[in-house]
Amino acid sequence: ILNVEQSPQSLHVQEGDSTNFTCSFPSSNFYALHWYRWETAKSPEALFVMTLNGDEKKKGRISATLNTKEGYSYLYIKGSQPEDSATYLCASRGGGSNYKLTFGKGTLLTVNP
Amino acid sequence: GAGVSQSPRYKVAKRGQDVALRCDPISGHVSLFWYQQALGQGPEFLTYFQNEAQLDKSGLPSDRFFAERPEGSVSTLKIQRTQQEDSAVYLCASSLGIGQGFFFGQGTRLTVV
């Protein structure tokens, strides 16, 4: 069984604050780690796909790192804006299945103006 | 269309009623997935198609759930004799193939009353 855990479950920050979330996943038979941003009433939007240990990716004010040996990934948001408010989901591909994603429960971020 | 399209967006069903949820994937995408997200949970895998072949249905919670993709494009998820525990958001995702990015639809929110 592949368990993906995310923390915290929810987070409230002020506009301009920087923040980060954690995703942990089983490190054995790992293929890839996906991060999604999901706003209410919209489709989950792909942020990053990472495969290699030590990967670091950046998209605007959002960045992510990957440690496949210890099974964790961090997502960072620099200078949070109200439009960053969303649920951030991570999902792992691995554990003997290279085609399906196993999701965590997500981190709900609320950025107050 | 440019993205994955799901219909209906919202469905209210009386307990015991049959429902059918539709997914139009991105044209040319070989892989198609259905996920179920219950309140407070992350999306849970239901089933996977490669073209018209259903290669994995291990996540379908009971024999009341049935999915098909007869021509390798549009897919339908059917739930017979709906129960309250079937209330969830049903997400469809497509990708070009194994190891490629996943593109999600907006989901269908099913409420069984």
pLDDT, one tens digit per residue, over B6-21 is: 999 999 999 999 999 9
Q: Which residues of chain B have pLDDT under 70?
A: 1
Alpha-carbon gap, residue A31 to B99, rounded angstroms: 9
Confidence (pLDDT) at A1:
46
> Is pLDDT of A111 > 50?
yes
Interface residue of A2, A21, A100, A101 to substitute, partner B, most B CBs within 10 Å: A100
Interface residue of B29, B45, B49 to substitute, partner A, most A CBs within 10 Å: B45
Q: How many C-beta atoms surround the C-beta of residue A1 within 10 A?
A: 5
Q: What residues are paired with A109 via a beta bridge?
A: A11, A86
Which residue bears the tokens 């379908």? B60
Q: Provide the pLDDT confidence category of residue A41 given band limits of 50, 70 and 90.
A: confident
At B102, the amino acid letter reads F
Q: What percent of chain A has pLDDT over 90?
A: 85
Confidence (pLDDT) at B17:
98
